[in-house]
Amino acid sequence: MPLPYRRLVVKIGSNVLTQANGLPDEDRMAQLVNQIVGLKSQRCEVILVSSGAVAAGRSLITLPPKADAVRSRQLLAAVGQVKLLSLYAALLAPHGLLGAQVLVTKEDFRDRQHYQNMQNCFQELLQQNVIPIVNENDVISVTELMFTDNDELAGLVASMLNADALLILSNVDGIFDGDPSRPGAQVIRHIAPADTGFAEFVTATRSQFGRGGMLTKCSIAHKVARLGISVHIANGKTPDILPGILAETAISTWFQPSKRASGTKKWLAHAQTAQATVHVNSGARAALLTSGQATSLLPVGVVRIDGDFQKGDLVRLVDEQNHALGFGLAEYGADKARERLGQHGQRPLVHYDYLFLTAEG
């Protein structure tokens, strides 16, 4: 049976790749690589977002008990990343495949030029049949520079590369309709774009070795699905989980995608470093958030502008109560925008094609 997806981002979490003692689980890595090789043999492009550098570092170096937490993480990630990539390289080599290290920070996705440079690099790697192995650059990513976790990073990569699907492998079967530890709890198999009720079942508990948890996974999955990309959350410890997801024989939670967004909108969804803030009135808010309607932001709906911007800069949109609405690229500078404030018959300040809304009507 032909695969339903042609370009996949596979995110493997720390709890999948780490043993109970905190060291790398090389047997499970081998199993997952074999599954990826199987997908590749069916002409499926695979981008791997892999945690595990810190765990690999623990297997190489012992730190004193009172060592600084941030510096320890930097050290473990620096030495561990080398081992992690070496393990992947050794597992791929017998199949005649190469892996390529791609280390990124959150800032790389915020800057449009960095974003396009990364995009070009990924495209060339895929064209040459090389498997990109992506991880956060933990050596320099600290505090505000850090991703929430690698789920967020995987969502960004899937959006950037216009992937067909994002497969998030954790140590649970998916999202449950109750406490997974209690008898009778069932995995929610399908979440439609408009579904929000699942959030009440998700706890904020973090995983043992990772930074995030199911709450983060759900948030990222919902956001990525809104951009037109299928998302599956499944248990990476289940045998043959990757082909099982694609054949629809494995248990997982599937976030059904909405209509595909453009590449620009996908970048806007994640950039979120705006030059200025544009405040809109209630009429503009209602028009922008009307379901199924493509609406640009016109000057007549703008009540105030905080900050300065030039044509093509990213601006943040908020309503009169300062509630976030979304982001967009300005069609002209702040000076002209202020001259046209509240006026009818003027060109859009933000065209619909360059607008991404984060709020819902």
Q: Which residues are annotated as a binding site for ATP?
A: 11
Whole-number Å distance between alpha carbons of 188 and 181? 15
Handedness of CA 101, 42, 262, 291 (dihedral sign): negative
Q: Which residues pair with 104 in a beta bridge?
A: 136
Binding residues for substrate: 51, 138, 150
Buried b (16+ CB within 10 A) or exposed e, 127-142: eeeebbbbbbbbeebe
For residue 45, the SS3 value is: strand
Rounded distance between C-alpha atoms, residue 51 and residue 138, angstroms: 11
Task: Report yes or no: 19 and 177 within 8 Å, Cβ to Cβ.
Answer: no
Binding residues: 11, 51, 138, 150
Measured distance CA(232)–CA(234) in Å, rounded: 6
239: tokens are: 């045998």
Instruction: Tokens 């983060």: give the residue.
Output: 216
